Structure 1
Amino acid sequence: MDPVTAGILVAIGLIVLMAIGTPIAFALGAISLIALVADRGIVELTYFGETFFDRIAEFGFVAIPMFIMMGAAVASSPTGRDLYRSLDLWLGKLPGGLAISNIGACSIFAALSGSSPATCAAIGKMGIPEMRKRGYPDGVAAGCIAAGGTLGILIPPSVTMIIYGISTETSIGRLFIAGVVPGFMLAGLFMVWTLIACKLAGGYDNPMAINSEQVKQTIRQNVDANLKALVRVLPFLAVVLGILFALYGGVATPSEAAGVGAFMCLALAIIIYRMWQVKPIKLIMRDSLRESVMIMLIIAAAEVFAYALSSLFITQTVAGAIADLEVNRWVLMGVINVFLLVAGFFLPPVAVIVMTAPILLPIILSANFDPYWFAVILTINLEIGLITPPVGLNLFIINSIAPDISLRNVLMGSLPYALCMVLGIVLLCLFPGLALWLPDLLMG
C-alpha cells in the first residue's frame, strides 16, 4: 500500500474512533496497532509494548507528574480565593478593575498550577458570580475567565513546554522563559478587550460609584482580610520564582526542580491552610495520579502512533511534500498555523505536541525559524483550541461553574479572546524578539 493511501486510511480510522468517544490514548494505540499488523504482520506485536514503554521511561518525564502534583496542591487549596481577593483589593478601584483582577489572577494562578482547567475552575468559581453581581455582561464574565485559564499552558512552569522540549530535544529552561513575555502580552490583550467589551455592552457597574459610601465601607472592612490573603499567597509565588531561578541558574534539572516544587507546594498548602486531614491530601494525590496517567498514556500512545506513521513512510511523505512546496516561508508558517489550529479544535494540547512536534521541527528549521519561537506559536494555537468548539474544554468548565449562562453565551464571550490570541501570533511573527529576547538575555 502506498504511503498516501495508508495515511488517508489511518486518518479516517483515527477520526472515526474519536468520533465514537474513544479516549485519545486508546484511539491512537488502536489505530497504530491495526496499521502495523496490517502492513507487517503479527510480528509487530513484539515491538508494540517495547515502543510504548520505552518512550515514557525517559528520566525527563519525571518532571510531568511532579509539576502536576504541584498544581494539584495549589488548586486544591484556597490559594485561588486568596489570590483573587488580593488582586481585587489593589485593582478593584480601577475602571473595569474587577475583570482585570480576574485576568491577573488567572495569569498568576496559571504560573502556580500550570493547568488551564484548574485555573478556570479556581478563579471562575469566585470571579464569575462577583462580576455578574457588579453588573459585568455575562459574556465578558465568562469569556475573560475561559481565556485567562488558557495561560496555564504558556506561562511557566508549563507541562506542555516540558513535553515539547522532550519531543524536540530542546532546552526546557529556555522554553519556559520564552513563554514569559508572550504570556503577559496575551494577558494585556485580554485586559484591553475586556474593557472594550464592557463599553460596547453598555458599561459595567463600578463598585466605587454605585452605593459609594456603603461599598467603600465594605472595602475598608475587607482590607485587613485581603492583606492577610496576600501574605498567604506570597510563599507559593516564592516557590515558583525559586524553581525558575534553579532552572536558569543551572542549580537543578527540570525534574529535580519539579520534585522540590511539588514538595514545597504540598507542604505550604498543609501548613498555611491547615489541610491536616487525610481527605484533602488524598484528593491531591488522586488528582495528580489521574492527570499524570492520562498524559503519560497519551505520550506513550502517540509515540507508537509516530512509529507507525514512520514505518508506513507516511511521515516522510508528508514532510517531503511540505518541504518541496516552493512557497515563501511565511506562507509555509501560515499553513502550519492553520493545521495546528484545526488539530487543536479536536485534540488535547499534549497529543498535538507529541504527534506533530517531531514532524514539524525539521521543516521549521529548514525554513530558518527558531524552534523556541515556534514553541510559543504552537502553544498559542493550542490555547485557542481550549476556548473553541467542538472540544473547547475551558468552555465546558465555565458552563459547569455558571450553568445559568448558556454555552452559546460562553462561546460568544470567548471568541473575541481567541481573536486576541490570533493577534498575539501575528505580533510574534512581526516581532520574534517578544519570545526570544528574554531567553537570549538570561541564557545567551
Structure 2
Amino acid sequence: MSAVAMGLILAAVLIALLASGIWVAVALFAVGLFAMEAFTTSPTGLALGTSLWGAIASWSLAPLPLFVWMGEILFRSRLSEDMYAGLAPWLGRLPGRLLHVNVLGCGVFAAVSGSSAATAATIGRMSIPQLRERGYPDRMIIGTLAGSGTLGLLIPPSIILIVYGISAELSIARLFIAGILPGLMLVGLFMGYVALWALLHPGRMPPAEPRLPLGERLWHARRLIPVLALVVGVIGSIYVGVATPTEAAALGVAGALLLSAGTRSLTWASFRDGLMGATRTSCMIVFILAGAAFLTTAMGYTGVPRLLAEWIAALDLSPLALLAALAVFFIVMGCFLDGISVVVLTTSVVLPMVQAAGIDLLWFGIFLVVIVEMAQITPPVGFNLFVLQGLAGRNIFQIAWASLPFFLVLLLAVVILVVFPELATWLPDRMGGR
C-alpha cells in the first residue's frame, strides 16, 4: 500500500474517532494501535511501552505543571484582574483593546516556558474569564490564544530549533538569533490582524472604557507592578543564568503564592482549588502528549513520513515549487506528529534535496518552524487546539474555526519569509560568527 493511501486511512480513522466525542488522548492511542496492527509487523506492546515511558518520564516536562499552577494561582487571586485593570486604560485607544494582551502575554511567556502548551494553558487560564466578563467575543479570545501560543516554537530558546540545528549541523546560537526578527514579525502580524478585525466589526467589541488622563492611567498602572515583578523575576532568573526553566517555574509558583497572600486573596479553598485545577490541566496535557508520542512512534514504524519525503524528492521540482510542496508536506505531517518528531523523522531525506536546490539551511530552519507552528493549530491533531478545548469548554471544531484566521496569518508570514529571506538571515550575518 502506498504512503498516501496509508496516510489517508489513518486520517479518516482519527477524524471519525474525534467526531465520536471520545477523549483526544484515547483517539490518538487508538489510531497508533490501528497503524501498528494494520501496517506493520513490529511488536505493538513494546512500541507502546517505550513511547509511553519516553513521553511522560522526560525532565523537560517538569516546568509544565508548575507554570500551569502559577496560572491557576493568578487566576484565583486578584492579580489577573489587576493586570487587566492596569492595562485597560493604556490599550483603550488601540483597536482590539485587551485582545492584544493575549498576543503580548503569549509572546513574553513563550520566551519563559519554551512550550506552546504551557503558554496557551497559562495565559488562557488567566485571560479567558477576564475577557469573557468584559464582553469580548469568544472566537477572538480563543483565536488569539491559539495563534499566539505557537510563538514558543520560534522565540528563543526553542527546543525545536535545537533539534533542527543538530540534524542540519548548524550553529544553535545562529539559529536562535535568526528566530528573533521572524518572532517579532509574527507578534506584529497577530496584533495587526486583531486591530483590523476590531475596525471591521466594531459592533462585536464591548463598549470602550472612558479615556483617562495620563495621571489616572499611571495610577491604574500601579496594579501591574506585582505581576510585572513576577514575570521579570521568572524571565530574569533564566536569562541571567540563576535558575533553570524548572527552577524558574517553581520560583513563579512561590512568587504567585506570596503575591496572592499579600493581596489577601489566598485562602485554603483557593489554594486547594488551584492545585486541583493545575493537576487536572497538566494530566490532560501529558495524557495527550503520551498519545501523540505513541502515534508518532507508530507513524515511524509505518514509514509514511520517509516515503512521502522520498516521493517529493523524486518529483525534481524548482526551488519555489519544492518549498510549496514541503510546506504542504510538513503541515500534513504536523497534523499527526509533534514538531520535533517531524524534524527528526524527515530531515535526513529533506535536507539533501533542500541543499541541492541551493536553499540556505539556516533560513530553511526558520521556514520549517513557522510551518510547524501552523500545524499546531490545524485539525485534526493541532495540539494547541486540544489545550484550549479544555480551557474554553468548546468542541474541537469550534476551536479550530476560531483559529483559522491565525492559521492564515501564519501562512502570510511564510510568504513574507520566502519573499524577504533576509528577515531570517540578516541578523545572524550581521552579528557574524558560527
TM range (shorter): 0.7 to 0.9
Offset of residue 345 of structure 1: 4.0
Alignment gaps of 5+ in structure 2:
18-25, 262-267
- Distance change >3 Å, CA 14–CA 208, structure 1 → 2: same
Q: Is the 8 A contact 1:125 1:401 kept in 2?
A: yes
Q: Are 2:321 and 1:331 equivalent residues in the alignment?
A: yes
Query: How far off its partner does 1:110 sit?
Result: 1.8
Matched, 1:306 2:306: no
User: What code does the residue aligned with 1:339 have?
Assistant: F
Aligned mates of 1:322, 1:125 — CA distance in 2: 41
Match of 1:424 in 2: 413
- Output one character per residue of 1:320-341: Cα deviation in whole Å (capped at 9) or x when no partner: 5433323311111101112222
Q: In the alignment, which residue of structure 1 is the partner of 2:209?
A: 207
Is 1:197 aligned to 2:209, yes or no? Answer: no
**Which AA in structure 2 matches 1:432?**
P
Query: CA separation of 1:137/1:298 partners in 2, compared to 1, >3 Å: closer, same or farther?
Result: closer
- The answer to whether the 8 Å contact 1:120/1:394 transfers is yes
1:262 aligns with 2:246: yes
- Report the CA distance between 1:417 and its aligned residue: 2.0
In structure 1, how many angstroms separate the alpha carbons of the residues matched to 2:198 and 2:356? Answer: 45
Which residue is 1:119 aligned to?
A: 119
Distance 1:375 1:336 in 2: 12
Would the aligned equivalents of 1:84 and 1:105 in 2 still touch at CA under 8 Å?
no
Q: 1:326 is paired with a residue of what secondary structure?
A: coil
2-structure distance, mates of 1:299, 1:396 = 15
- In structure 2, C-alpha distance between the alignment counterparts of 1:125 and 1:206, rounded to whole Å: 24
Q: 8 Å contact 2:299–2:305 — kept in the other structure? A: no
Quote the RMSD (CA, aligned, Å): 4.5
Instruction: Kindly tell me the number of residue pairs found equivalent between the two proteins.
Output: 408
Report the alpha carbon displacement of residue 262 of structure 1 after superposing the two structures with TM: 1.2
Partner of 1:40: none
Mapping for residues 86-97 of structure 1, pairs under 5 Å: 88=87, 91-96=90-95, 97=97
Secondary structure at 2:202 match in 1: coil
- The equivalent of 1:139 in structure 2 is 139
Q: How does 1:28-427 map to 2 (within 5 A)?
A: 28=32, 31-32=35-36, 35-37=39-41, 64-65=60-61, 68=64, 71-72=67-68, 75=71, 77-78=73-74, 81=80, 84-85=83-84, 88=87, 91-96=90-95, 97-132=97-132, 134=134, 136-165=136-165, 170-202=170-202, 204=205, 205-209=207-211, 222-242=220-240, 260-271=244-255, 273-274=257-258, 295=289, 298=292, 302=296, 305-306=299-300, 309=303, 318-395=308-385, 397-398=387-388, 400-403=390-393, 411-427=400-416
Shift of 1:201: 0.4
Asked if 1 retains the 8 angstrom alpha-carbon contact of 2:363 and 2:421, the reply is: yes
Rate the CA distance shift 1:137–1:26 in 2: closer, same or farther, 3 A.
Answer: closer
Task: Decide which moves more: 80-89 or 382-391.
Answer: 80-89
Mapped partners of 1:29, 1:295: distance in 2? 16
Contact 2:68–2:281 (CA<8 Å) still a contact in 1?
Answer: yes
- Aligned pairs for 1:423-442 (under 5 A) are 423-440=412-429, 441=431
1:20-77 CA-partner distances (Å, limit 9, x unpaired):
645546644763566443xxxxxx65x99599969x99xxx96633564675565455
Distance 1:143 1:360 in 2: 32
8 Å contact from structure 2 (residues 296, 338) kept in 1: no
User: 1:41 corresponds to which residue?
Assistant: none
Residue 265 of structure 2 corresponds to none
Q: Deviations over 1:215-265 (max 9, x none)?
A: 996x6664333222212221112134236xx9xxxxxxxxxx8xx231233
Partner residue of 2:7? 11
1:252 is matched with which residue? none
Tell me the amino acid that sits aligned with residue 366 of structure 2.
Answer: V
Q: Is the 8 A contact 2:68 2:278 kept in 1?
A: yes
Distance 2:169 2:81 in 1: 38
Instruction: Answer whether contact 1:153 1:379 (CA < 8 A) is retained.
Output: yes
* Distance (Å, rounded) in 1 between the aligned partners of 2:63 and 2:87: 28
The worse-fitting range, judged by mean Cα deviation, of 128-137 and 338-347 is 128-137
The 3 A distance-change label for structure 1 pair 378 and 239 is same
Gaps of 5+ in 1: 38-43, 247-256
CA contact (8 A) 1:87 1:104 kept: no
Greater mean deviation of Cα atoms: 232-241 or 171-180: 171-180
CA distance 1:133–1:367, shift in 2 (3 Å)? same
CA distance in 2, matches of 1:185, 1:264: 27
- Asked if the contact 1:72/1:288 (under 8 Å) is kept, the reply is yes
CA distance in 1, matches of 2:346, 2:298: 13
What's the TM-score once normalised by structure 2's chain length?
0.73
Contact 2:3–2:308 under 8 Å retained in 1: no
User: CA offset at residue 400 of structure 1?
Assistant: 4.9
Deviations 1:140-168 (A, max 9, x none): 33322222222232223334334444555
What letter is aligned with 2:413?
A: G
TM value normalised by structure 1: 0.72
- In the alignment, the residues of structure 1 paired with residue 134 and residue 156 of structure 2 have an alpha-carbon distance, to the nearest angstrom, of 32
Q: Which secondary structure does the structure 2 equivalent of 1:78 belong to? A: helix
Instruction: Report the Cα offset of residue 189 of structure 1.
Output: 0.5
Q: CA deviation at 1:111?
A: 1.8
Percent of aligned pairs with the same amino acid: 28
